[in-house]
Amino acid sequence: MPLLARLSLPVLLLLTTACQSFSGLEAPEVSLSSLRLESPGVFEQRWQAVLRARNPNDRAVTIKALDYEILVNGERLARGNNNEATTLPALDDVLITTSVSTSLLGTLQQLQRLQQNAGEPLTYQLKGSARVAGLAFPIHFDREGEFTLPMAPQPAN
């Protein structure tokens, strides 16, 4: 393997780290705040996903774009993006409303599996990347949590 090829990866990693540390910015934290069905369709459903973006920096940061996916119990539920610039005030957070879509078949299969474990906690994962003004490379985020679906009402006897 040529010497140049062996040195290129460590140099690239060093440059990436240097760009982020020279800018003095910490990565914004992104989490899922809510998910609500907007429009059911035969082949596709549109959901409103509200993300909470938190800025740990002592100066305002602008998120230029987000690209993410939501997984439930390890399986992708939806994929979304947002290309509207959002400024996060220093040491504060902002709610970012986006739209995501799911396919009917995938959603039905996932609901069927979830019904088998009714009442048990479900895991969710929000992972993706954010393009931040002033940084050359996207910042990746990966947030996990648990939730429990409400139990379906039982018929009265």
Of residues 146 and 10, the one with the higher pLDDT is 146
In DSSP notation, 36-79 reads EEEE--SSEEEEEEEEEEE--SSS-EEEEEEEEEEEETTEEEEE
The 10s digit of each residue's pLDDT in 76-117 is 989 999 999 999 999 999 999 999 988 887 777 777 776 777
* Dist. CA 25–CA 41, nearest whole Å: 42
pTM value is 0.74
CA dist list (Å): 131 to 17, 61, 140, 150: 16, 11, 9, 36
Q: How confident is the model at residue 22 (pLDDT cuts 50, 70, 90)?
A: very low
pLDDT tops 70 at residue 131: yes
